[in-house]
Amino acid sequence: MVRLRPKAEARAIRHGFPWVYVDELVTDRRTQALAGGTIATLEDAERRPLATVTVNPKSKIIARVMSRDAGVEIDRAWIAERIAHALELRARLFDAPFYRLIHAEADGLPGVIVDRFGDTAVIQPNAAWSETMIGDIAAALTEVTGVTTIVKNGSGRARGLEGLSEETVLLSGEVAGPIPVPMNGAIYMADVLGGQKTGLFFDQRPNHAFAARLAKGARVLDVFSHVGGFALAALAGGAVSALSVDASAAALDLAGQGARAMGAEARFATRQGDAFATLEALAAEGETFDLVICDPPAFAPNKQALEAGLRAYERVAKLAAPLVAPGGYLGLCSCSHAADLVQFRAACGRGIGKGGRRGQIIHTGYAGPDHPMLPQLAETAYLKSLFFRLD
């Protein structure tokens, strides 16, 4: 048993909020001695059962709600039931098994990410309980989905916050090389063992599709391209050319492999380098494009980084806007949950203005439906994409 402090808001838990912060829980010696990932019953200050939680005394999020049933048993069967519930949604949404299968708290498995690449699945166990029960998660995943290869990707900032070490390991099956992923008419190459995150970002799928609609007959610039996200979608949409810019040579090589798999290599080019420096260099070279998209990493991963992050988003917009041909389009993206849509939109507007341009917003995009949002947890609504038509 663990118990909320008298001033903690039990009502938030009853209404669906999934986290308990360390200053909200009674942290006596017994609680502090619990092993990370321990399953416990959460009680309110009057000792009334509230929920079944997983406890990690090393984390600022000391407890995560597993179920609002205080008597439930968290075992392989329970995990399989959650996975099956998530799979039913994805099977309705997508014709092929390439998607985010488990989106952490929003799918009822706190701190757990699972991306599916056909017969291969990549698990990111970002909470202590999922590290402890990784064998049960993998077994349940195989049982429910039939995947034959499972990779554990134990990397990233979230694991550090939980006091977990980094490791990427093949749990079952084999990985012969990058996996071709069909999406929006494009083909992406996912490096599930050595790539960034799980190897591919599925969250931008609807925004890639919107960009592809703008790309017919267009010259396209995709900055912070990773493995060709917007560029390859634009080529599938009929772009006459696409240039991918990224700091990672490995990511650009995978983008090139994707372009070849699509038969679009003649229309595709890459440029390795710092994004800001490359934007400045392209302007100095007098280059312009009909469609420019910038999809940077999270400049504001937390509240402490918010102001600096908003300045970075403003700078991206300022440097990118002059590269857009008159009447062309600019797409700007943020995956920072600390910067809300209003703040991000204002930063982009300031940057476009400082870049000497004026624009109208024609589309606001979010993560795809395989990345569901939990209404009580703002952090799950992290992705924002704004598309402007510039004068």
Quick check: 189 pLDDT over 90? Answer: yes
- Residue 312 pLDDT more than 90? yes
Name the 3-class secondary structure at 370: coil
Model pLDDT, residue 102 = 98
For the chain, list the domains and their CATH numbers.
2-67 (2.30.130.10), 76-172 (3.30.750.80), 186-390 (3.40.50.150)
Give the pLDDT confidence of 9-60 residue by residue, as tens digits: 888 899 999 999 999 999 999 999 999 999 999 999 999 999 999 999 999 9
Read off the pLDDT band of 228 (50, 70, 90): very high
Rounded to whole angstroms, the Cα distance separating 126 from 285 reads 44
Average model confidence (pLDDT) across the chain = 96
* Per-residue pLDDT reduced to its tens digit, 95-135: 999 999 999 999 999 999 999 999 999 999 999 999 999 99
CA distances from 8 to 48, 52, 61, 99, 146 (A): 14, 17, 14, 37, 43
Question: Among this protein's residues, is 348 annotated catalytic?
Answer: no
Query: 294, 333, 335, 348: which one is catalytic?
Result: 335
pTM for the model stands at: 0.94
Residue 311: exposure state from Cβ atoms within 10 A (0-12, 13-18, ≥19): middle
- Residue 188 Cα to chain centre, angstroms: 17
Q: ∠ CA(77), CA(79), CA(82), 5° rounding?
A: 110
What is d(CA 356, CA 344) in angstroms, rounded to the nearest whole number? 19
